[in-house]
A and B are shown apart, each in its own frame.
Chain A
Amino acid sequence: EPEVTQTPSHQVTQMGQEVILRCVPISNHLYFYWYRQILGQKVEFLVSFYNNEISEKSEIFDDQFSVERPDGSNFTLKIRSTKLEDSAMYFCASSVGTEVSQFFGPGTRLTVL
């Protein structure tokens, strides 16, 4: 069964460093998303991406964040200068359309020291 994959599973970084989280969405899906979940809190929407551009972003997704689809299979989230409060699980998701189910990857645990 097709699934969303994410790498790495765990990333440890120093405050102020740049990190890139990688995702391979399900191959026939057209809509891509990033969410995050701080330990013990709700899953929060960050950004949605369609047709090589951002469709919607939350107030969390500030200038420190960017997304890119560098080729036909990968979807990346870059955090330019990490802060302690960026420590969280980051989930990538994808869907065929906008009114159907979003399928989530296993997540990347980001720890900022």
Chain B
Amino acid sequence: EDQVTQSPEALRLQEGESSSLNCSYTVSGLRGLFWYRQDPGKGPEFLFTLYSAGEEKEKERLKATLTKKESFLHITAPKPEDSATYLCAVQGEYSSASKIIFGSGTRLSIRP
């Protein structure tokens, strides 16, 4: 069964304190791995898509990396506005219009 596990569940950092969020996945035939940001009461906001092991993507203070079994979201020198829940999701080879399977997310809190 395809599965996405994120750790830690919650992470509290001081402003400027860099860290990484982990996403472990099991999927039959990875089509893509996605990172989203979700603020309370809002929809997931797209951040990155990764397709193959070794791929990296960057956006401002965020960098996503991918291996055959996991993905990391690295946050460098975070600011309070980076506080949100970060969701990892995978898309496998299910059908012609593939669903995304989400993890439970990591709640990130950045203290000023």
A residues at B contact (CB < 8 Å): 4, 31, 33, 35, 41-45, 48-50, 55-56, 58, 89, 91, 98-107, 109
Contact = CB atoms under 8 A, between A and B. Distances in A.
B94 A56 contact: yes
B104 interface: yes
B102 interface: yes
8 contacts: A33-B97, A33-B100, A43-B44, A44-B102, A45-B100, A99-B31, A104-B44, A104-B46
Contacts of A89: 41
A107 B87 CA distance: 16
A58 B43 contact: no
B46 A98 contact: no
Contact of B43 (A31, A50, A99, A106): A106
A43 to B, nearest CB: 4
B27 to A, nearest CB: 13
A78 B49 CA distance: 31
A106 B42 contact: yes
Given A99-B31, A99-B91, A100-B49, A48 B99 contact: yes
A44 B87 CA distance: 12
Contact of A91 (B43, B96, B104): B43
Contacts of B42: 106-107
